[in-house]
């Protein structure tokens, strides 16, 4: 059996009649930017994620950047980010002219380490930007306490965490705003690019609505220099169909994750080189990714590939050591983050993974980990 990492054609197969109806509704309306579909999607996603406002934008990177801009963050400012994340988290800070300050993450959860955050605060620090990596929320209660103590803003990168909670609280509960990506492979994905921001802050919400639309709240009145970062009407209509399945599809991911955790626990016990994901107390992750740790992830990936299982690595290089940040941040050393990046391997995970595919993955991992242990240095 061949198990793909992810096949988005399955999304279309399951939802085709509803997607076709949404597509035709938009085409027949003759309305392609803004309008009722966008307003309705925003209201539905705000309700789903327990926030007062949702503002649709063009992509996840813009969602992050526009919040920082709305707060007036720019040159001379610092924003604290996790050392292990997707590069977009840092690029959003850089786009404003501010400096991203990567700090250490927790070795177990791979999420921002609150103690490292506090140690990195300087007079230039304006905001903290935790990422809810792989679908699990960071320790927002502690991070919000630190922010409050030092007068800092908190923007949550929730691009991988649609539907996740911690102690019952979704993103944008403890932080001032959360930024979302609707990139096709995300738990809630569009059929192209899309993004959004949730917040309970009325003033921030109206500022963002203006900024995303050429700095204009009233047509042809431009009180500031905004950008064009709108969520397409068509994407909003298609996202509404996927949103109606999100809770159900997250439940399917959870069932797969629990099966992986149960079946692979004895393997990790027998071969300590293998580490399984850790779920923090009170945390309800949505398993955007199921990420193993192993000291030889490339050898493990090859052994799985030989057994028909496709994997990916999220993310093999910490952003501050990529070419994009070599000059500015190349001197930063974050041993925990860097080791995590050198060990990660993501297994197939998604609502359309079948039970038999999942079981084939479990067999393949069990065999591959034992084979690597028997032939170290291969």
Ligand X SMILES: *Cc1c(COP(=O)(O)O)cnc(C)c1O
Q: Between 63 and 292, whose beta carbon lies closer to ligand X? A: 63
Query: Binding of ligand X at residue 232 (CB under 6 A)?
Result: no
Q: Minimum distance from CB of 158 to ligand X (Å)?
A: 8
Query: Binding of ligand X at residue 233 (CB under 6 A)?
Result: no
Q: Minimum distance from CB of 185 to ligand X (Å)?
A: 8
Contact 228, 222 (CB under 8 A): no
Binding ligand X (rule: CB under 6 A), the pick from 60, 130, 285, 319 is 60
Q: Minimum distance from CB of 229 to ligand X (Å)?
A: 11
Binding ligand X (rule: CB under 6 A), the pick from 22, 121, 127, 131 is 131
Q: Minimum distance from CB of 191 to ligand X (Å)?
A: 13
Query: Binding of ligand X at residue 85 (CB under 6 A)?
Result: yes
Binding ligand X (rule: CB under 6 A), the pick from 88, 93, 237, 246 is 88
Give the residue at shortest CB distance from ligand X: 60
Query: Binding of ligand X at residue 45 (CB under 6 A)?
Result: no
Contact 185, 5 (CB under 8 A): no
Query: Binding of ligand X at residue 229 (CB under 6 A)?
Result: no
Q: Minimum distance from CB of 268 to ligand X (Å)?
A: 26
Distance, in Å, from the CA atom of 82 to the CA atom of 333, rounded to the nearest integer, reads: 13
The 324-363 contact track toward ligand X, x by CB under 6 A, reads ----------------------------------------
Q: Minimum distance from CB of 302 to ligand X (Å)?
A: 25
Q: Between 160 and 213, whose beta carbon lies closer to ligand X? A: 160
Query: Binding of ligand X at residue 59 (CB under 6 A)?
Result: yes
Q: How many CA atoms lie within 13 A of 76 on its CB side?
A: 2
Query: Binding of ligand X at residue 181 (CB under 6 A)?
Result: yes
Query: Binding of ligand X at residue 89 (CB under 6 A)?
Result: yes
How many positions of this chain bind ligand X (CB under 6 A)?
15
Stretch that binds ligand X, among 56-64, 93-101, 230-238, 268-276 (CB under 6 A): 56-64
Query: Binding of ligand X at residue 195 (CB under 6 A)?
Result: yes
Q: Minimum distance from CB of 183 to ligand X (Å)?
A: 4
Q: Minimum distance from CB of 126 to ligand X (Å)?
A: 19
SS3 of the chain: the string is CCECCCCCHHHHHHHHHHHHHHHHHHHHHCCCECCHHHHHHHHHHHHHCCCCEEEEECCHHHHHHHHHHHCCCCCCCEEEEECCCCCHHHHHHHHHCCEEEEECECCCCCCECHHHHHHHCCCCEEEECCECHHHCCCCHHHHHHHHHHHCCEEEEECCCCCCCEECCECCCCCCCEEEEECCCCCCCCCCCCCEEEEECCHHHHHHHHHHCECCCCECCECCCCCCECCCEHHHHHHHHHHHCCHHHHHHHHHHHHHHHHHHHHHHHHHCCCCECCCCCCCEECCCCCEEEECCCHHHHHHHHHHCCECCECCCCCCHHHCHHHHHHHCCCCCHHHHHHHHHEEEECCCCCCCHHHHHHHHHHHHHHHHHHHHCCCC
Q: Between 157 and 343, whose beta carbon lies closer to ligand X? A: 157
Contact residues for ligand X, defined by CB under 6 A: 59-61, 85-86, 88-89, 131, 157, 159-160, 181, 183, 193, 195
């Amino acid at each position: 059996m061949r198990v793909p990492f992810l096949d988005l054609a399955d999304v279309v197969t399951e939802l085709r009649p509803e997607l076709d109806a949404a597509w035709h509704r938009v085409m027949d309306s003759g309305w392609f930017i803004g309008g009722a579909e966008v307003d309705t999607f925003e209201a539905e996603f705000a309700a789903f994620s327990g926030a007062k406002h949702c503002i649709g934008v063009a992509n996840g990177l813009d969602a992050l950047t526009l919040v920082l801009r709305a707060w007036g963050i720019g040159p001379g400012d610092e924003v604290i980010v996790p050392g292990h994340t997707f590069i977009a988290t840092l690029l959003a800070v850089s786009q404003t002219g501010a400096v991203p300050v990567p700090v250490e993450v927790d070795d177990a959860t791979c999420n921002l380490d609150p103690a490292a955050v506090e140690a990195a605060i300087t007079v230039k620090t304006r905001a903290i930007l935790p990422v809810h990596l792989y679908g699990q929320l960071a320790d927002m209660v502690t991070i919000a306490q630190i922010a409050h103590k030092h007068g800092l803003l908190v923007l949550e990168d929730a691009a991988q965490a649609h539907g996740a909670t911690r102690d019952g609280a979704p993103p944008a509960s403890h932080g001032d705003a959360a930024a979302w990506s609707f990139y096709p492979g995300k738990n809630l994905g569009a059929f192209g690019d899309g993004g959004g921001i949730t917040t309970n802050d009325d003033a921030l919400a109206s500022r963002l609505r203006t900024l995303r639309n050429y700095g204009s709240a009233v047509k042809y009145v431009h009180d500031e220099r905004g950008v064009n970062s709108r969520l397409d009407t068509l994407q909003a209509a298609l996202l509404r169909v996927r949103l109606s399945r999100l809770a159900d599809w997250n439940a399917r991911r959870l069932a797969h994750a629990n099966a992986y955790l149960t079946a692979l626990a004895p393997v990790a016990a027998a071969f300590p080189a293998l580490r399984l994901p850790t779920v923090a107390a009170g945390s309800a992750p949505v398993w955007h990714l199921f990420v193993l740790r192993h000291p030889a992830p490339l050898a493990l990936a090859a052994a799985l590939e030989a057994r028909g299982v496709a994997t990916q690595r999220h993310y093999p290089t910490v952003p501050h050591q990529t070419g994009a940040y070599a000059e500015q941040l190349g001197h930063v050393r974050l041993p925990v983050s860097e080791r995590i990046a050198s060990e990660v391997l993501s297994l197939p995970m998604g609502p359309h993974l079948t039970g038999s595919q999942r079981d084939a993955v479990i067999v393949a991992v069990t065999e591959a980990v034992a084979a690597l242990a028997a032939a170290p240095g291969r």
